[in-house]
Amino acid sequence: MSLDALRELIPSYAKDISLNLSSLANETILTDQQKWGCYLASAHAIGVPQVVKLIEAQAATVLSPEAMNAAKSAAAIMGMTNIYYRSLHLVKNQEYTTLPAKLRMNVLANPGVEKLDFELWATAVSAINGCGACLDAHEAELRKHGMSNVQVQAALRIGAVVHATSRVVASAIAAAE
């Protein structure tokens, strides 16, 4: 199992990260597509090659090719929109918020999977990228469509653990070189 291979890359000082990675994979709060889409979108958002490769291999056992593509699309589009909207929030000149974004975001309208799943993946990635405006927007969509706080929290937890895993694995690999 690819997740076990990933856990083997995590040094002993980060045992909690390894345990969380495993326990989240076994939770049933989210559907398998929602859960593994969160894992995959989060891994792609961070981009540590070894982590991406192993999570992608695990996700491919559960996700359809369309869902794999949509999860990667969530990471890609949030990589752009999180920076843009976070910047609008941080800049004191509020005139920027009145200007059209003029950025293509077509995938948001037609992600290739259920909109709810895509919104969940976008929420996990927005947490990783630290965009409060995007977190609020995606969380509101999820809640409007009946997703519980516990389900939203599960996506946030996956994003946090994949982020920590990626950082720890990247550091361990760099130290070994």
- Measure the CA–CA gap between 44 and 55, rounded to whole angstroms: 9
Active-site residue (options: 131, 154, 156, 158): 131
User: Is-catalytic flag, 134?
Assistant: yes
- Measure the CA–CA gap between 55 and 141, rounded to whole angstroms: 27
Active-site residue (options: 9, 75, 127, 134): 134
- Measure the CA–CA gap between 138 and 1, rounded to whole angstroms: 32
Amino acid at 119: E
b/e burial code for range 119-149 (CB count within 10 A of at least 16 → b): bbbbbbbbbbbebebbbebbbebbeeeebee
- Measure the CA–CA gap between 33 and 47, rounded to whole angstroms: 20
User: Is-catalytic flag, 131?
Assistant: yes
- Measure the CA–CA gap between 30 and 28, rounded to whole angstroms: 5
Handedness of CA 6, 11, 12, 13 (dihedral sign): negative
Catalytic residue positions?
131, 134
